[in-house]
Amino acid sequence: MKPIQVGLLGAGVVGSGTFTVLKRNQEEIRRRAGREIRISHVADLDTARARALVGDAAEVVADARAVIARPEIDVIVELIGGTGIAKTLVLEAIEAGKHVVTANKALLAVHGTEIFAAARDKGVVVAFEAAVAGGIPIIKALREGLTANRIEWIAGIINGTTNFILSEMRAKGIDFATALAEAQRLGYAEADPSFDINGTDAAHKATIVSAIAFGVPVQFAKAHVEGIAELQAADIAYAEQLGYRIKLLAITRRRDATAGAPAGIELRVHPTLVPTERLIANVEGAMNAVLVQGDAVGTTLYYGKGAGAEPTASAVIADLVDLARLASADPDHRVPHLAFQPAAMQDLAVLSIDEVVTSFYLRLQVADVAGVLARVTGILAEHDISIDALLQRPAAIGGHEGAARTDVIILTHDTVEGRMTKAIAAMQALPTVLAKIVRIRKEDLG
């Protein structure tokens, strides 16, 4: 069979990993794919860098459109990133009848509906295993391996930079800024790590897995997103004392109507307390992990490297091998882009954060005087919020020897978030509450 010809757009870290792994494992991959996968054209503005990578093995140009225009190219691999020129080029590649493989989570989370519709119209595939959790084959697992299941929820550590920072903060007792500097020194965080730190990167990925899990359109704009920049070392230490670790979790859950909250889908990224005994609480450093709860299979856990040249190349090449096998298949018999047949997609509402049901960790810095605790617990009771555990400690921040202030840490049972927001406002208004109340959501993931 003739080789499948690939045009690579972007010869950066992942592009170079893809070229290297394809070359190194050429024979093994050919035995699996049934034909050679050949990167014949590469486009990169830095043509010298691209030439240094591919030598004589491929034609190098600066203009991506020149690669898309080549009639012999079967597949375009888009590794440029972002939602600007990458979107234009992906749509042009589809229009030209090329299959597309992309690692671009932002593009699919924000513009996926338009891109998948264009691909369907043209009868081509847009494959994106590398867009979520790097080398972990979570898209394949959700779309194919777990296809018998009604997926109940997914909870993942899907941003390695923030997991590294949180691991350092806990292990060394250091603050956020110090841990971030360490992440940058080691090359985990970008010079501008804002999409990692503020939760956007994880929310892009969560949006994609949510669509595949529940058969709903990608809806990044409806995700609730919080990052880790506000997280304080004191809360990581208190959580530890209570038997929890704090992770930046991406959570998507199908929710039936409960008292005070409608049915719908939760889609959220935020720091989360997780019981220390859960495997996912022990995922440390820059590693990723994704927990999936299906009604038939129960809980499954996928763990591995979520970034880096070769782990991400592993996912890109897996998509290329699928394409090498399926390119000539009837489009109606391919695995649908978002796991469900396009006509069977549902438009379940993504719940607002006020409608989400979860338990909470609260830290209040209060004046250490008679009756304070009674007022605080009274407000929680008035809002029908049940306390699970309570801890009182000398104030970790802003306190000093002999100061009449103390930290009160409260764990609650599940409640609707809107109710908690009202209770926090009422507690915050008490003159004996001396600092902004810290609220961190908690998940048992049992």
Question: What residue ranges bind ligand HSE (CB under 6 A)?
Answer: 159-161, 196, 201, 306-307
Minimum Å gap between C-beta 117 and ligand HSE is 25
Minimum Å gap between C-beta 328 and ligand HSE is 32
Under 8 Å CB-to-CB from 123, ≥6 apart: which residues? 97, 331
Residue for token pair 């950066």: 12
Nearer to ligand HSE, 40 or 161 (CB): 161
Is 140 considered catalytic here? no
Nearer to ligand HSE, 41 or 204 (CB): 204
Minimum Å gap between C-beta 235 and ligand HSE is 22
Nearer to ligand HSE, 109 or 408 (CB): 109
Nearer to ligand HSE, 14 or 118 (CB): 14
DSSP-derived secondary structure for 126-142: EE-GGGSSTTS-HHHII
- The tokens of 205 are what? 């990925």
Dist. CA 229–CA 260, nearest whole Å: 31
Minimum Å gap between C-beta 105 and ligand HSE is 6
Nearer to ligand HSE, 164 or 361 (CB): 164
324-330 long-range CB contacts below 8 Å, 24 or more apart?
324/4, 324/33, 324/34, 324/35, 324/37, 325/33, 325/34, 326/125, 327/4, 327/74, 327/75, 327/99, 327/125
CA angle 291, 292, 293 (to 5 degrees): 125
Dist. CA 208–CA 189, nearest whole Å: 22
Catalytic residue among 205, 247, 305, 442: 205
Minimum Å gap between C-beta 128 and ligand HSE is 12
Largest Cα–Cα separation, the chain: 83
As annotated, the active-site residues are: 205
